């Protein structure tokens, strides 16, 4: 099995899901902020992004790269 763009992006998204899961289990503040976003208390995600900029940049990089690979 070679490392095609499809395989790499599936791996990157799987890693993103793993990181999200770990943060939801480990960090109470992250979990509360994420729940607020899911309950539409923060519909645009601005407070969540401000509170967790590293995760937000990681998300943007992961899914931005996925879009770039599949669209471009």
Query: Which tens digits make up the pLDDT trace of 35-72?
Result: 999 999 998 999 999 999 999 999 999 998 888 887 86
Average pLDDT over residues 25-31: 96
d(CA 20, CA 61): 14
Q: Which tokens go with 31?
A: 């979990």
Number of domains in the chain: 1
Predicted pLDDT at 1: 65
Distances (CA, A) of 64 to 16, 51, 60, 70: 13, 21, 5, 10
DSSP class of residue 22? H
Residues spanned by the domain of 39: 5-71
pTM for this model (two decimals): 0.83
d(CA 72, CA 65): 10
H-helix or E-strand spanning residue 51 = helix 46-51
Residue 2 has pLDDT above 80, yes or no: no
């Amino acid at each position: 099995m070679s490392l095609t763009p499809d395989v790499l992006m599936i791996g990157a998204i799987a890693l993103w899901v793993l990181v999200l899961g770990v943060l939801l289990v480990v960090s109470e503040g992250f979990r509360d902020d994420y729940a607020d976003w899911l309950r539409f208390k923060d519909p645009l995600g601005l407070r969540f992004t401000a509170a967790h900029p590293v995760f937000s940049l990681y998300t943007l990089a992961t899914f931005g790269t996925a879009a770039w690979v599949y669209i471009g």
